[in-house]
Amino acid sequence: MSLHTSKAVYFLSALLLLSVTGLRDAASQTAGDATAAALKRDTVRCSTQADVEACYNAIRRNPNDPALLVSLGDALARAQRFEDSIRNYRRAAVIAPGMSGIAAKISAAEERMASRRAPVRQTASAVTDKRFSNAAPEAQSH
């Protein structure tokens, strides 16, 4: 093999290596762009539409974002899932202790949860005065 031939082979192998590396980098950049676009889409759907599934998808990609956790808590509260919403509000408060409004959201969710669980109380007169449509009156003239 001559010197020119070996230089040409070396040059071609270097060129091939660079093109393969460039394709791999381009593919990883495209995958990264797709992931970033999906995160953005899910974040918008989570915060504007209270889409619980989109919130979970966004949090899988960015688990320590307190704004996402608060948005998930809001979406869960709208879905009447107060225990789950409180858990996410508290997690956001741990990550970002200075974030305003979280304590109020926790209190509101706790109140709504407590009012949902509170038994309906009846007065004593309501229990004794209860009449049913098929019940006969107490004093009949038969």
Quote the pLDDT of residue 8: 65
**Residue 109: partners with Cβ closer than 8 Å, 6 or more residues away:** 73, 77, 82, 85, 86, 89
Supply 56's token pair. 């979970």
Cα angle value 87/97/59 (rounded, 5°): 50
Q: Model pTM?
A: 0.61
Q: Where does 35-116 sit in CATH, by number?
A: 1.25.40.10
**89 alpha carbon, distance to own chain's centre:** 11
Q: Which of 98, 53, 90, 48 is nearest to 70 (CA)?
A: 90
* pLDDT in the model for residue 48: 87
Low-confidence ranges of the chain (pLDDT < 50): none
> Are residues 113 and 86 in contact, defined by beta-carbon separation less than 8 angstroms?
yes
